[in-house]
Structure 1
């Protein structure tokens, strides 16, 4: 498919014409389906697209399934195919394409006296065959001694085989991999052709003229057509209740959520007037999801795609729960709750400062939706650091009353208060939505989770919740069970394959979060076993400079070098931890006449401009090249004076979120990541 996209438009159309003629008569003289005696695979043929271009076609040994594998200039097509083998694997119901070695490229240890054990010595030949290894490759697999050798042979193994061997090395149980293979197969008693198995659909699709036209005209992208078997199962299954899907950056969580939306919308009866809600955390993500859902062909009449804050306010207004002029604290263009607390303390003496009181109010009172002083006195404050006495709690509750009076006078609501109001109202009411899908759930707290739970009745497929614990950049407590959502056991799923970021970038990003324990949102530790990328790229670099001028000069040189090598400005993002650093870079870009725009507010590709963003606003985006600037021991983690006043628990939580933020920023890069800073390098980046 990628090769088809790269062909000239007129050749793409000729491929479509060729396909139609082939279906009408595969033996027609104009097809020129010819065997080539130099090909390793005797079932590969060349076919004429025009006088210059050739197609590589796999002809069936039995049956009528032909596979179009490649189209290129004559000599390039012949060279591509000469060492290729196409193998139909009955064990996995997968068409496997791989390059046969022309020589023994597995580098053996230099010492002949040392005994070395194959990495897969613990598995019998039959076990490896059941895992999808073709018999032709068993000897090769048994020669592999370590991960480096496995990676060196990636092109010589079918993609599904490489993936499963990597999983074995990384600790994924053999029986789990075997079960996943079985789940992706067409059952023996089915009338469906095994070629249509979910295992095979990850790499091959059967296309008609309409689909081919859409592909050629650029109306479809690969993510709309291909899904990994683990993704497709999540999209098309029916679940006995809510489902939680986690996975590292780039594993296609949002793609799965979008396909799930499409699937549920098609299943929904026309008689059921309740829409399906797709909920995100930020406005930027909402706009992106709306655009992608339309591109996927989702019936937009049946769905509502909303930022969670906007949805809560919209529902509260529609139910008459809040007045129309109310303003929400801590939201865009509104006052902060901290500012309001400062106003309260200007008129009332207290041993507690505004920061403590603001966090106490949100993380204890609103988090637990407490209504009375007695409830507050008996509620656990675990995680709040320094304990307080009963007398202090009574004093704090009195301050809560003053704060709420101030809010009422100025027509404000706390953000979490809004969710609690709607959630309480919906407890005994008909639910407004048929199903709910939520993306980026690591950014939610239990308050938002309770709100989501209140939007839909408990039934099959009610909630589909997607997120990455490693991208949790806000210090919010989240626990599904405590929020009334059961996803234990078979309804907690994990995606493992990184489709976005090169293996080199992925490894560096993961190293930034190593040594930290990440909760899977339900009290267990999230594990990145088997998390790997499907492609390799340029090794990331981290440069440190003595002066800011030297750093920005290097940054400008990087952008110019990327342009010279064929990148558009819109392929590049510059990320900084602080807005001040971003403003400084903006000045230099302006002087150099390099076009830029901030925070991807509009589509950067429309006017071909570099995207300038803080680390936080990079979330949910991706770019071919990412430059992280002003990264040093003062910005990663970001240092500020109040860190010294934090308790040990608060410092740990802060470091946790800073590591996650750096992980998020690094994993926005697809193939190129350059990090730079002035002064002492950050200890979080191990290059």
Structure 2
């Protein structure tokens, strides 16, 4: 006998009292041991639409809903609730196998959906049906149950589709949403076919990637223990077919995965890490790197949640990784200093020293950017290389004669900088890459990169040099829309080859509500983003599968009013079911959080601040973070504060001196930063400020 658990079953279980939860856990354990036991009280209910559904007794008051097999020995545990509510949930449900998708589907019987359509307001303007351009065969192949075809054919708008969302199978809604949003039906069918198995028997087909999206078999009670502790992590057990194909796949080379905020990119990377750790040879080593220290700590915590054996695995942010290896290989002297990391002169001060003795039309700002964006970015080592180096994004072209002048200044800058033993961190990256290449040294056998959009070619060359090019070598995940640093990625220039089917996009948002997702997308919708392959990243076809309240944006007359409002809202949340660590207050600048910190202190509400990636203060308090620090994290309740026309986008005096190209790039990064902050919210986002509203927030 086999018992498969529907993912929605656990949502019903979470809402039950603790004592009943324990009874349910005992019940499912006994059922797995002996489904025929008379103590189970498995009985048909005559008014159920689906005759294969049964009621089972958890105790005198609570019932579980189970689908029994017509043939074979596979049962499905679907729902658990109070007697009347359990029956109410099951009465009009239909549970059937879809051969086109190789997955079990749960949906509401067609006549109930038709009644829902009848109570909708009449549409006075004649409209074309939403899916009129698709044949019945097309709709069946993307997962529409045959009995629901008439209902789906009657849908006229996207709002109409969302109206019946709770009545149709989840995978069906998802694919219909994609079609309505302009996705290719051929591509959807291709992805569905990829998730199927070649097995003939239905028992074996139940193990298809498509079916594992919603139904899994449990061999122990770990998931139930998480529920009892109030800490369910469904991402550890249930994966969308698009994720599972990436996690368990075998590829000829590097895989690149993009997707909007909350689409499970990091989850896929973590499961891929676990898969690689289990299937590697004993001596093989794995690198998992990201951009910041805070994100690194988050990855370590999530890896522990997934119970990954970290022996032979290095989880580190790219800076720490490169600096450690530079020291290990003794590539520079011990008294080195790095711009931005040590308290030393800044690069512009050294450029001033260069220009003090040189007569030139080039100023400090131009030379500093030219050095960073051309010389370091392309690892230019000679005049000949500089004369050939592309200057994309640097604005006005300069002649070969001017390049010779610039290079003479670069050489002097390098001499002075060398006397101080100063380095740009990009220099250390380039030193490390050149050493690894010249010594044909590979430190790791497999590599994973999270938050790919934060990297540039300089960092990616390090990753490429550390891992040998071979099947399954690199697994790169990121969201182009979250690109908040002015960096460029060109895979071919960094030695990374991603082609065809090894470039994937995730489209299901598991973190935020559809309402929050729409607000986040509206912030960046008028911008164009590269998908890391030289093509534009799509913003459409990206859907959340749950709903909530509309985000709110309130502008107050004074800072005190804003602070009092936010803190009173937090007090209300804390009186209810929320813990302090599930709440975040975030702003564009750290200074804007001072008054909120003071008020939390006066109210004796615990709070946590973030310093250089580390938590400071109460470890389980309300989180105080800047937009930069909240990146990669998530909270049930998020308050964006101090949001107005001067902070979002953030204005400063030097911005007036920027070129049009530089301003456009800056404002684009500011939009992405706000997109990041909004998309950290799981259930609710509230935005507040004083003064004039920000034009970026369209609420």
TM bin, normalised by shorter chain, reads over 0.9
Between the two proteins, the alignment pairs up a number of residues equal to: 684
Sort the Cα spacing of 1:391 and 1:587 in 2 relative to 1 into closer, same or farther, 3 A.
Answer: farther
Aligned to 1:538: 549
Sort the Cα spacing of 1:217 and 1:179 in 2 relative to 1 into closer, same or farther, 3 A.
Answer: same
CA–CA distance in structure 1, aligned partners of residues 342 and 633 of structure 2: 20
Deviations 1:304-344 (A, max 9, x none): 11111111111112222122332322237776444554565
Q: Does 1:294 align with 2:304?
A: yes
Aligned to 1:64: 73
Aligned to 1:570: 581
CA–CA distance in structure 1, aligned partners of residues 27 and 349 of structure 2: 68
Q: Does 1:404 align with 2:418?
A: no
Q: How big is the shift at 1:411? A: 2.5
What are the within-5 Å matches in structure 2 for residues 60-99 of structure 1? Answer: 60-99=69-108
Q: Does 1:655 align with 2:663?
A: no
Counterpart secondary structure, 1:633: coil
Aligned to 2:591: 580
CA–CA distance in structure 2, aligned partners of residues 442 and 268 of structure 1: 28
Aligned to 1:19: 28
Sort the Cα spacing of 1:116 and 1:390 in 2 relative to 1 into closer, same or farther, 3 A.
Answer: closer
Aligned to 1:234: 246
What are the within-5 Å matches in structure 2 for residues 491-640 of structure 1? Answer: 491-599=502-610, 607-640=619-652
Q: Does 1:42 align with 2:51?
A: yes
CA–CA distance in structure 2, aligned partners of residues 201 and 299 of structure 1: 24
Contact 1:274/1:432 (8 A) holds in 2: no
Deviations 1:23-70 (A, max 9, x none): 333232211111112222222111111222211111112222111111
CA–CA distance in structure 1, aligned partners of residues 649 and 263 of structure 2: 26
Uncovered stretches (5+) of structure 2, i.e. residues with no partner: 1-9
Aligned to 2:295: 285
Aligned to 1:432: 443
CA–CA distance in structure 1, aligned partners of residues 616 and 175 of structure 2: 38
Counterpart secondary structure, 1:617: coil
Sort the Cα spacing of 1:102 and 1:405 in 2 relative to 1 into closer, same or farther, 3 A.
Answer: closer
RMSD: 2.3
Of residues 376, 384, 398, the one that matches 1:374 is: 384
Sort the Cα spacing of 1:362 and 1:111 in 2 relative to 1 into closer, same or farther, 3 A.
Answer: closer
Counterpart secondary structure, 2:189: helix
Q: How big is the shift at 1:386? A: 3.4
Contact 2:608/2:618 (8 A) holds in 1: no
Q: How big is the shift at 1:293? A: 1.1
Aligned to 1:362: 372
Sort the Cα spacing of 1:38 and 1:498 in 2 relative to 1 into closer, same or farther, 3 A.
Answer: same
Counterpart secondary structure, 1:301: coil
Deviations 1:242-276 (A, max 9, x none): 11100000000000001111111111011xx2411
Aligned to 2:313: 303
Counterpart secondary structure, 1:542: strand
Of residues 269, 276, 284, the one that matches 1:264 is: 276
Aligned to 1:675: 687
Uncovered stretches (5+) of structure 1, i.e. residues with no partner: none
CA–CA distance in structure 2, aligned partners of residues 504 and 40 of structure 1: 33
Counterpart secondary structure, 2:210: helix
TM-score for both structures, normalised by structure 1: 0.95
Range moving further from structure 2, 636-645 or 387-396: 387-396
Q: How big is the shift at 1:648? A: 1.2
CA–CA distance in structure 2, aligned partners of residues 406 and 673 of structure 1: 50
Sort the Cα spacing of 1:49 and 1:337 in 2 relative to 1 into closer, same or farther, 3 A.
Answer: farther
Sort the Cα spacing of 1:102 and 1:214 in 2 relative to 1 into closer, same or farther, 3 A.
Answer: same
Q: How big is the shift at 1:479? A: 1.1
Of residues 232, 255, 259, the one that matches 1:243 is: 255
